[in-house]
Amino acid sequence: MLMRKEEAMRRKENVVTFNYLQKHTDKTQKMIELNIEGIKFTIETKEALYKHETNNFLKELPGIKNNIKFSKALVILNRWTKNNFVNQERFGFLDEYSISIMLAKINILYPNVSLIELIERFFLTYLTWNNSIPVRIMENRKHIITENEGSSIIILSPTYPEQNLTKQINKSTTKIIKKAMLEGLKEIRKARNLSSEEIKDFWKKFLEPKKISEI
């Protein structure tokens, strides 16, 4: 009876929230069919919604919202991961959501650094990160993921409950990611004392697509 009233209220308000979908879908469902006011549609649940909520959270996070430097760094790092073949989540690498969480963490720790320094700190921090400690923006005390053998990095969503955004990453792909980060760190440090004109040329070279044989 209570569930029927809740569903009626949802239809009346024409609103379907993340928590509502989590409550009324089981762990095996990847899609859910909805019928609101006679309009039928199918949407993704679970990981897709966690990522959607993560994206919305970051957009409104103080220090990130309307932060041009953060946006530029995020574009650069997403392009860099693609060019270095470490950007396919399903193959055990990073994706735009895990990168955004990682970068947001660095931006919180070092809010006043330059664009070059922000990216340098990104590489340096995660090259030396203790993988037994998950990377999270904020601690969710109601539902905390702490288990990690320490062989691969865990990036947690800022949602409730927390979701491991990098569960496909393993020991082997972690080594590949860190090797790419080490090369990225070496390159980005070359830009420390460059002029504005030299910086333009640097970014072109830094963001050039690589061949697999060069990795």
Q: Are 148 and 154 in contact (CB under 8 A)?
A: yes
Q: What is the pLDDT of residue 105?
A: 95
In the predicted model, is pLDDT for residue 50 greater than 90? no
In the predicted model, is pLDDT for residue 27 greater than 50? no
What is the pLDDT averaged over residues 171-178? 93
In the predicted model, is pLDDT for residue 125 greater than 60? yes
Mean pLDDT computed over every residue of the chain: 79
What is the pTM for the complete model shown? 0.73
Amino acid at 141: R
pLDDT band of residue 42 (cuts 50, 70, 90) is low
Rounded to 5°, angle at Cα 132 from 130 and 136: 85
What is the pLDDT averaged over residues 91-102? 92
pLDDT band of residue 182 (cuts 50, 70, 90) is very high
What is the pLDDT averaged over residues 8-32? 50
Domain 48-214, architecture per CATH: Orthogonal Bundle (1.10)
Q: Name all contacts of 99-102 with Cβ < 8 Å and 24+ positions apart.
A: 99/74, 100/54, 100/55, 100/58, 100/74, 101/54, 101/58, 101/135, 101/136, 101/137, 101/155, 101/156, 101/157, 101/158, 101/165, 102/126, 102/135, 102/155
In the predicted model, is pLDDT for residue 76 greater than 90? yes
Of the spans 15-24, 96-105, 206-215, which averages the highest pLDDT?
A: 96-105
Whether the link from the prior residue into 158 is cis, omega within 30° of 0, is no
Q: Name all contacts of 128-137 with Cβ < 8 Å and 24+ positions apart.
A: 129/153, 131/174, 134/164, 135/101, 135/102, 135/105, 136/101, 136/105, 136/162, 137/57, 137/58, 137/61, 137/101, 137/104, 137/105, 137/108
What is the pLDDT averaged over residues 55-62? 84
In the predicted model, is pLDDT for residue 14 greater than 50? no
Instruction: Please tell me the least confidently modeled range out of 79-83, 105-109, 159-163.
Output: 159-163
Instruction: Please tell me the least confidently modeled range out of 78-82, 143-147, 167-171, 183-187.
Output: 143-147
Of the spans 65-69, 85-89, 113-117, which averages the highest pLDDT?
A: 113-117
Q: Where are the domains of the chain?
A: 48-214
Q: What is the pLDDT of residue 209?
A: 84
Please state, for a pLDDT cut of 70, what percent of the chain lies above it. 69
